[in-house]
Amino acid sequence: MPERPIALVTGASRGIGAAVARSLSDTHDLLLGGRDANALQELVDELPSAKSWPVELTDHDAVAAAVADIERLDVVVHSAGLVELASVAEASSDSWRRTFELNLFAVTELTRLLLPALRAAKGHVVLVNSGAGLSAKPNWGSYAASKFALRAFADVLRAEEAGHGVRVTSVFPGRTATDMQRTVRDQEGGAFEPDHYLRPESVAAPIVSAVRATGDAHLTEIVIRPS
C-alpha cells in the first residue's frame, strides 16, 4: 500500500486550521501545530491520522529543530495569525513587530526550512491570507501590511518554485466565525454575529479542493466572501 501524503497545518487548534485538518484527515497524515495545547490535543485525539506538532512559530531555532526530520512533505497550510487593531497614530512599534513576526516572518522561515521536503514531494504551500491582504482599511495597518506582504511572498515563492513542481495558493477569506473574529469584533466595539460570517468549514473546502486539484490545475488565488 502506498504511503499516505503528509500535511502540516499551523494554527490547527481552532478555526480555519482545525477545519482544514478535519477535511484532510481522510486522505493525509497530519502534523498539527497550535498554541492552545489542550485544544490541539483534543483534535489529535479526534483524528487518528494526526500527530501534535507544538512548536512556537516565532522561535526560529525551535522551528528548525522541529522540521529537521521532515524529509518529504506534500502540503503545508499556514493558518496561524495575529490581529491587533489600532490607528497608525496609536499602534506601537511592538504591536507592528508582533504582527509581522507571526503573520509573515514565521511563515517565510518555516517555508524556507521546508522547501527541500516540499520539493521532494512536489508539494503544495497554502497561505491563509485575508480580505485585508487585498484592501486596507483604517485601524488595520499592521495586519493589512503583514497580509499584503504575505501575498507578495506567495507570488515570489510561486514563481521561484515552479521549476521544482511546488504549487503555491493564497486564500483570501472574508470575515469568518472564529475566535480571531470574536477578538476583532471586541477591538472594533461591535457584536460577534457568526450567522453573518463564513463558517471555518466553508473556507476549508476550497483549500482542500486546491490541494486535491489534478496536476494540470494550479489554483493560485482563492477569494471567499460571505454570501
Is residue 22 domain-resident?
yes
CB 107 within 8 A of CB 1: no
The torsion of the CA quartet 9, 13, 18, 22, rounded to 10 degrees, works out to 90
Q: Is the pLDDT of residue 1 over 60?
A: no
pLDDT at residue number 45: 96
- Across the chain, mean pLDDT equals 96
pLDDT at residue 54 in the model:
92
Angle (CA) 108-113-115 rounded to 5° is 90
96-136 pLDDT, tens digit per residue, is 999 999 999 999 999 999 999 999 999 999 999 999 999 99
173 part of a folded domain: yes
Mean pLDDT, residues 177-189: 93
pLDDT, average across residues 132-159: 98
Contact 111, 157 (CB under 8 A): yes
Return the percentage of the chain with pLDDT > 70, whole number: 99
Dihedrals phi, psi of 127, to nearest 5 degrees? -110, 115
Residue matched to cell numbers 497561505: 127
pLDDT of residue 3: 86
Report the number of distinct structural domains present in the chain.
1
CA neighbor of 11 nearest in space, from 156, 140, 182, 129 = 129
What's the predicted TM-score (pTM) here?
A: 0.96
Distance CA 118, CA 161 (A): 10
Enumerate the β-bridge partners of residue 173: 224
Q: The domain containing residue 214 runs over which residues?
A: 6-224
Give the integer Cα–Cα distance in Å for 141 and 144.
5
Q: How far is CA 187 from CA 81, 85, 101, in A?
A: 16, 7, 20
Query: What's the pLDDT score for residue 78?
Result: 98
Question: Considering the domain boundaries, does residue 161 fall inside one?
Answer: yes
Residue 2 has pLDDT above 80, yes or no: no
**What are 44-81's pLDDT values in tens digits?**
999 999 999 999 999 999 999 999 999 999 999 999 99
pLDDT of residue 174: 97
Residue 1 located in a structural domain = no
**Which CATH number covers residue 82?**
3.40.50.720
